[in-house]
């Protein structure tokens, strides 16, 4: 089916990035959040990021203005009901996602496709609570959305071929690359990435190295653009812990046991860049390791 309009639930880091790329690709976007402040901040961020693209001559000023004109915001979730496809990009908590879909269902058009940007939660389980499991799938963007070229497409057990091909067509229109993943905990990227971050936490927890030595070892020894602890701060330590818990519970393997130090940081509210403290302290001019 042809997709013309897209609803995005959640105006945070992922949601505003999804709205950004969809609007640039010519889709009409309705961006929803429970906070007007979050919506205002999202529009400002999208405008700023597009302005940066204009300055680098990646897009024209006219393309930016047209794209910004395609983004509408709303505090009312039912307003997304008239869109052709909805992308849920809310907090990585399953009960919240269920509540969002439950609230959306009475207002959707019969043909509307539902998707989730979840990084780890079962697509089959999310779909099973809706009236359209065949038109439900995982649409997992990487962060930051405007820069990262990969999108994971995850089919639930009931997802039909037409839904998959429609979402695949959107990925191509965004000039991104799709990786098709089966519906197992954390899919592909986070199944590999987050346990590596968790192992870096154990390496720190056990005193094998400090924050700087662990990150430098992986940047200079494995040619990673960012060390695993710096990356964890960028992702959000709460998100990393949530994904490790999904892996641990979903696969019942002790190798996915979350590091106690990661749990302790989350308990302290040191969640990384978004709270100004994590494995690094971001409150000064230069980030400083906290261990």
- Cα(115)–Cα(65) distance, integer angstroms: 27
254: which residues sit within 8 A by CB, 6+ positions away?
none
Catalytic residue among 117, 140, 198, 230: 140
Catalytic option among 5, 16, 119, 122: 119
Whether 161 is catalytic is no
pLDDT of residue 48: 97
Q: Name the β-bridge partners of 85.
A: 6, 113
Q: Tens digit of pLDDT for each residue in 109-130?
A: 999 999 999 988 999 999 999 9
Topology (CATH) of 191-289? 1.10.1040
pLDDT in tens, 165-221: 999 999 999 999 999 999 999 999 999 999 999 999 999 999 999 999 999 999 999
Give yes or no for a contact between 35 and 76, defined as CB atoms under 8 angstroms apart: no
Report the interhelical angle of 260-268 vs 189-205 (nearest 10°).
90
Q: Which of 16, 122, 190, 198 is catalytic?
A: 190
pLDDT of amino acid 18: 98
What are the C-alpha distances in Å from 143 to residues 2, 148, 226, 252?
26, 6, 14, 28
Would the annotation count 13 as a binding residue? yes
pLDDT per residue as tens digits for the range 73-97: 999 999 999 999 999 999 888 999 9
pLDDT at 287: 96
Residues of the chain above pLDDT 70, percent? 100
Q: Is 10 annotated as a binding residue?
A: yes
* Across 125-144, average pLDDT: 96
- With the C-alpha atoms ordered 166, 115, 83, 103, is the resulting torsion angle positive or negative? positive
pLDDT(149) > 90: yes
Whether 283 contacts 289, CB under 8 Å = no
Q: Is 140 an annotated catalytic residue?
A: yes
Which of 20, 152, 198, 230 is flagged as catalytic? 152
Mean per-residue pLDDT, 143-149: 94
User: Is 127 labelled as part of a ligand binding site?
Assistant: no
User: Whole-prediction pTM value?
Assistant: 0.89
Q: Can 49 be counted among the known catalytic residues?
A: no
Q: Is 107 a catalytic residue?
A: no
- Residue 66 CA, chain-centre distance (Å), reads 25
The CATH code of the domain at 5-182 is 3.40.50.720
The yes-or-no verdict on residue 258 having pLDDT over 90 is yes
pLDDT at residue 91, as a whole number: 87
Q: What is the pLDDT of residue 120?
A: 87
Token pair for residue 182?
Answer: 């089966």
**Annotated binding residue at 119?**
yes
What number is the average pLDDT over the span 251-267?
97
Burial 183-197 (b: 16+ CB within 10 A, else e): bebbbbbbbebbbeb
What is the H or E stretch that residue 150 is in?
strand 150-155
- Can you give the pLDDT at residue 184? 93
CB-count burial class (<10 Å; 0-12, 13-18, 19+) for 237: buried
Q: Is 255 annotated as a binding residue?
A: no
pLDDT value of position 55? 97
**pLDDT one-digit tens code per residue, 36-49:** 999 999 999 999 99
Report whether 158 belongs to an annotated binding site: no
Which tokens go with 96?
């919240």
261 with 206: CB under 8 angstroms? Answer: no
The overall average pLDDT reported for the chain is 96
71, pLDDT greater than 90 = yes
Is residue 14 marked as binding?
Answer: yes
Cα 230 to Cα 201: distance, rounded to the nearest angstrom: 11
Q: Which residues contact 218 (CB under 8 A, 6 or more apart)?
A: 200, 224, 227, 228
Distance, C-alpha 61 to centroid of its chain: 27
Q: Where are the domains of the chain?
A: 5-182, 191-289
63 has pLDDT over 90: yes
Whether residue 143 has a cis bond before it, omega within 30° of 0: no
CA distance 2 to 18: 19
């Amino acid at each position: 089916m042809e997709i013309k309009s897209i609803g995005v639930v959640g105006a945070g880091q992922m949601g505003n990035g999804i709205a950004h790329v969809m609007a640039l690709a010519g889709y009409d976007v309705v961006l929803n959040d429970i906070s007007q402040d979050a919506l205002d901040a999202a529009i400002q961020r999208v405008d700023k990021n597009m302005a940066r693209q204009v300055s680098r001559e990646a897009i024209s000023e006219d393309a930016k203005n047209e794209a910004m004109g395609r983004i509408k915001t709303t505090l009312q979730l039912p307003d997304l009901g008239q869109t052709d496809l909805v992308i849920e990009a809310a907090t990585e908590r399953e009960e919240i996602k269920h509540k969002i879909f439950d609230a959306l269902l009475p207002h959707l058009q019969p043909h509307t496709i539902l998707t989730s940007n979840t990084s780890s939660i079962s697509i089959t389980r999310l779909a099973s609570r809706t009236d359209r499991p065949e038109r439900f799938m995982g649409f997992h963007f990487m962060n930051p959305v405007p820069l990262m070229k990969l999108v994971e497409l995850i089919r639930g057990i009931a997802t039909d071929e037409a839904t998959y091909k429609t979402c695949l067509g959107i990925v191509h229109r965004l000039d991104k690359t799709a990786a098709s993943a089966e519906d197992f905990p954390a899919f592909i990227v986070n199944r590999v990435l987050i346990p590596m971050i968790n192992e870096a936490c154990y390496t720190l927890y056990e005193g094998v190295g400090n924050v700087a030595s662990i990150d430098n070892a992986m940047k200079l020894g494995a040619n990673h653009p960012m060390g695993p602890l710096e990356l964890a701060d960028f992702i959000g330590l709460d998100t990393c812990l949530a994904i490790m818990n999904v892996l641990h519970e979903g696969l019942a393997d002790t190798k996915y046991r979350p590091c106690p130090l990661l749990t302790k940081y989350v308990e302290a509210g040191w969640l990384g860049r978004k709270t100004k403290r994590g494995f690094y302290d971001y409150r000064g001019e230069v980030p400083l390791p906290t261990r």
